[in-house]
């Protein structure tokens, strides 16, 4: 359900930027699957992170309001020197960093550790 709530804002299909967005988003989906295991078993792969933690990071709340969100939660892809996600809860947007030639995606476990740090924190990393 979280994948339907967090609407990714992709670039045009076939563009180089879209390919980089897809690689980042694919790893983010894989990370959410690992976080979802926590909901099923008490010893989840991502420790204290669960899907509610990710939603809280992006929107400020761990559950979807009964009448839905006034502003649709979204994921925006940005150029950044680091891969630590940031969020703006006023507009329900989470920012994920894109790789490039000078700044490739870190190894999966390193990236997931950055996601853990962000989603377990109450500081949203606003820029």
CA distance 106 to 47: 20
Is 85 within 8 Å of 118 (Cβ atoms)? yes
90 is catalytic: yes
**H/E run at residue 101:** none
Q: Which sign does the torsion angle of CA 99, 103, 105, 109 carry? A: negative
**Spacing of C-alpha 41 from chain mean position:** 22
| Catalytic, out of 90, 91, 117, 120 | 90
Q: Give 9's Cβ-side CA count (13 Å radius).
A: 13
**What is the longest distance spanned by two Cα atoms in the chain?**
44
Residues with catalytic roles: 90
């Amino acid at each position: 359900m979280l994948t339907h709530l967090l609407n990714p804002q992709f670039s045009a299909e076939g563009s180089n930027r879209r390919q980089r967005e897809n690689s980042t988003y694919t790893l983010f989906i894989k990370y959410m699957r690992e976080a979802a295991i926590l909901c099923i078993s008490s010893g989840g792969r991502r420790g204290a992170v669960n899907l509610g933690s990710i939603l809280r990071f992006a929107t400020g709340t761990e559950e979807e309001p009964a009448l839905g969100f006034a502003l649709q939660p979204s994921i925006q892809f940005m150029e950044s020197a680091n891969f630590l996600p940031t969020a703006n809860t006023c507009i329900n947007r989470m920012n994920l960093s894109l790789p490039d030639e000078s700044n490739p995606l870190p190894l999966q476990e390193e990236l997931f550790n950055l996601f853990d740090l962000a989603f377990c924190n109450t500081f949203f990393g606003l820029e």
